[in-house]
Amino acid sequence: LDSVQHTSAAPARRAAPPSPAAEDAASLERLRTLLDRRRRWTALESPFYSDPAIFAHDIAGIFDRHWFFAASVAEIPEPGDFVTIDVGSRSIILIRDDDGGVNALRNVCRHRGARVLTEPSGSVGNLVCAYHSWTYGRDGSLIHAAAAGADFDPGCFGLRKVHSMTVAGLIFLCLAPEPPADFAAVAEIFAPFVEPHDIPRTKVAFQQEIVEEGNWKLVMENNRECYHCDGHPELACSYFTTWGLEEHEVPEHQIDTWHRSVLADHELRERCERYGIPWQVYDAPDSREAGIRMGRDALDGDGESFSATGRRLSEKLLGDLPDFRLGDGSLHLQPNSWFHLLADHVITFAAFPMSENRTLVRTTWLVADDAVDGVDYRAEDLTHVWRQTNIQDAGFVGLTQRGVTDPGYVPGPYTPTEHQVEAFVNWYTMRMQEYIR
Ligand code: 3BY
Ligand code: FES
């Protein structure tokens, strides 16, 4: 990686330990009651954001069962490059194999269980446990265990494999022994939308990590609406903050913006049609598996990128894209990710739950792999708008966490423009109902 920014609001805390069986049954009953009485278009009740037992159920019900976004192939370009992905108490190694493939392995030594890799990213020859030096190949196979007994079979003690799927350069993980099959159908929907941006031929220009002081669902809910976008002055220079509003919902002070966005969207769609670039909105954010919403939105000003004027931030087009004015390809996937796909760069966002009140948000900016920092782009400028936007969002999430854990909290109504928030919460509620069934 060229550069990594770690911003930690507070020291990380471990996930709640699994509860004893009796407590577990009681907490499941409690969860059932809360899910059953959840009303559509109304925020979730406090325990969904604050109860360590419900957090443990979220991990078991969502992250142990469904596909989630982990990283892009640009983060592990060379054989031996790895990233570790932590979700609650789970840790997964994603490592590039010698043949260019990606291996996903449990980051748990098969001897006495020590964490094998403790860095968030890096490069290794083999995977060596720091405790007694059991040594694993990049495919997870055990290649050395000193002083093991004569009847010891190393073939039985490779690092446990996790299901992974790479779609247009985006790597997804599923921790379930039998992953849900319908994700492949969702992947077929978004692959043609992402492919023109050619992620396999990008490199990481910058990565930002923020530990947000809020439950992972608050992070996702915040991302799914632009009702709060007046709080993003830098973003508002190029991003039409009337996103998601119908004409009759547009507030007075945003009428001009809304009209500009309608014209710009019309023009963008004609341009995309000419080039054969997909722009069609696909809206199924609470569908069965990895709920999805994608579409291509025009940008304000020059219409090219997330800068103060809308002008490009990297001089190198991605892949074989024909034009810089392709607006913002926006992709939302449940449960934990969103993406902005532009002609000059791609930004991936992943939310990884840490505990009931902490979430790691990892944002990665990708540019053409032959773009040179200081020549074709400046990492500082490339990342300015979304670094600011993310910090502002972390502030909103922190404020909300504090309010929803106050005994004075009563869940309030979503407005129509928060339909994607309702869709996320509804997706979550339905998946959790399946989990406790
Ligand atoms: O990141 C997104 O998807 C946008 C940006 C602002 C609000 N949200 C809908
Ligand atoms: Fe890893 Fe002993 S726990 S080698």
Relative to beta strand 163-167, strand 4-8 is unpaired
Residue range 87-104: mean pLDDT, rounded? 96
Cβ–ligand 2 distance for 112 under 6 Å, the answer yes
pLDDT at 19: 43
Cβ–ligand 2 distance for 109 under 6 Å, the answer yes
Atom 3, ligand 2: residue with shortest CA distance = 112
- d(C-alpha 66, C-alpha 337), whole Å: 13
Q: What is the DSSP letter of 395?
A: H
Residue range 318-346: mean pLDDT, rounded? 98
pLDDT, tens digit, 9 for 90 and up, residues 219-236: 999 999 999 999 999 999
Amino acid in the structure at residue 216: W
- d(C-alpha 264, C-alpha 65), whole Å: 40
Residue range 285-307: mean pLDDT, rounded? 90
Query: Which atom of ligand 1 sits closest to the CA of residue 225?
Result: 9
Cβ–ligand 2 distance for 132 under 6 Å, the answer yes
Cβ–ligand 2 distance for 114 under 6 Å, the answer yes
Mean confidence (pLDDT) of the chain: 93
Q: Which helix (H) or strand (E) holds 427?
A: helix 419-436
The residue behind tokens 């260019």 is 100
pLDDT at 94 over 70: yes
Answer with the residue of higher pLDDT: 362 or 4: 362
pLDDT at 20: 54
pLDDT at 286: 75
Task: Find, among 220, 207, 157, the residue nearest to 353 by Cα.
Answer: 220
How close is the Cα of 143 to the center of ligand 2, in Å?
A: 13
Query: Which atom of ligand 2 sits closest to the CA of residue 113?
Result: 3
The DSSP code sequence of 20-81 is: PHHHHHHHHHHHHHHHHTPPTTBPPPTHHHH-HHHHHHHIIIIITTS-EEEEEGGGS-STTE
pLDDT at 8 over 90: no
pLDDT at 153: 96
Query: Which atom of ligand 1 sits closest to the CA of residue 420?
Result: 9
Task: Find, among 55, 13, 392, the residue nearest to 236 by Cα.
Answer: 392
pLDDT, tens digit, 9 for 90 and up, residues 163-218: 999 999 999 999 999 999 889 999 999 999 999 999 999 999 999 999 999 999 99
Adjacent-strand bridge partners of 361: 210, 351
Relative to beta strand 68-72, strand 102-106 is unpaired
Atom 4, ligand 1: residue with shortest CA distance = 223
How close is the Cα of 177 to the center of ligand 2, in Å?
A: 24
Cα torsion for 79, 80, 83, 86, to the nearest 10°?
130
How close is the Cα of 112 to the center of ligand 2, in Å?
A: 5
How close is the Cα of 171 to the center of ligand 2, in Å?
A: 28
Adjacent-strand bridge partners of 352: 360
- SS3 (DSSP) at 115: strand
Q: Which ranges constitute the DSSP H helices of 246-319?
A: 255-275
Relative to beta strand 68-72, strand 170-174 is antiparallel
pLDDT at 21: 63
- 8 A C-beta contact, residue 71 and residue 350: yes
Cβ–ligand 2 distance for 111 under 6 Å, the answer yes
Per-residue pLDDT band at 245 (split at 50, 70, 90) = confident
Output the six-digit token pair for 311: 């002008």
- 8 A C-beta contact, residue 187 and residue 282: no
- d(C-alpha 321, C-alpha 182), whole Å: 30
Cβ–ligand 1 distance for 240 under 6 Å, the answer no
Query: Which atom of ligand 1 sits closest to the CA of residue 243?
Result: 9
How close is the Cα of 299 to the center of ligand 1, in Å?
A: 13
Q: What is the DSSP letter of 418?
A: G
pLDDT at 5: 42
Task: Find, among 129, 61, 68, 152, the residue nearest to 104 by Cα.
Answer: 68
Cβ–ligand 2 distance for 39 under 6 Å, the answer no
What residues contact residue 179 under an 8 Å CB cut-off, 6+ apart?
Answer: 67, 163
Q: Cis omega before residue 335 (within 30°)?
A: yes
- Out of 232, 294, 330, 331, give the residue to mutate to test ligand 1, the one with the largest number of ligand atoms within 8 Å of its CB: 330
- d(C-alpha 387, C-alpha 210), whole Å: 10
How close is the Cα of 229 to the center of ligand 1, in Å?
A: 8
Percent of the chain with pLDDT over 70: 94
Output the six-digit token pair for 13: 């805390």
How close is the Cα of 71 to the center of ligand 2, in Å?
A: 27
pLDDT at 370 over 70: yes
- d(C-alpha 299, C-alpha 234), whole Å: 13
Radius of gyration, CA atoms only, the chain: 22
Query: Which atom of ligand 2 sits closest to the CA of residue 134?
Result: 4
pLDDT at 2 over 70: no
How close is the Cα of 111 to the center of ligand 2, in Å?
A: 5
Per-residue pLDDT band at 284 (split at 50, 70, 90) = confident
pLDDT at 12 over 80: no
Atom 2, ligand 1: residue with shortest CA distance = 223
pLDDT at 405 over 60: yes
pLDDT at 6 over 50: no
Percent of the chain with pLDDT over 90: 88
Residue range 121-130: mean pLDDT, rounded? 98
- d(C-alpha 94, C-alpha 71), whole Å: 9
pLDDT at 347 over 70: yes
Any idea which of 4-18, 260-274, 300-314, 366-380 has the lowest mean pLDDT?
A: 4-18
Cβ–ligand 1 distance for 258 under 6 Å, the answer no
- 8 A C-beta contact, residue 68 and residue 335: yes
Per-residue pLDDT band at 22 (split at 50, 70, 90) = low
Answer with the residue of higher pLDDT: 290 or 403: 403
